[in-house]
Amino acid sequence: MRLFRDVAARGRPVSHAGRLGPEASAALADSVVADMFAEAVGGQATPREAAARAERRAQRIYRS
């Protein structure tokens, strides 16, 4: 239970160091980061390929 009690002290907003706004929410809703990890861990892509794909997806979101 301590994990949940202390989460606010360690947690970060979905935008992390960036601006919190509709774009950050869209990236979260589209599972950009989760998909990046899943692709790399699942062997569907190398970590570099997965990061590049996630970056392209994020750029599309932040441009719109």
Distance CA 37, CA 14 (A): 16
Contact 40, 47 (CB under 8 A): yes
Contact partners, residue 14, CB within 8 Å, separation at least 6: 20, 24, 25, 27, 28
- Measured CA distances, 6 to 12, 17, 44 (Å): 12, 20, 34
Tokens (6 digits) for 60? 């599309």
Distance CA 20, CA 13 (A): 7
Rounded average pLDDT over 14-28 = 88
Q: Read off the pLDDT band of 12 (50, 70, 90).
A: confident
Instruction: Give the least confident one: 8-12, 29-33, 42-46, 58-62.
Output: 8-12
Rounded average pLDDT over 6-34 = 87
Domain definitions of the chain by residue range: 20-64
Position 2 pLDDT exceeds 80: no
Q: What is the pTM of this model?
A: 0.76
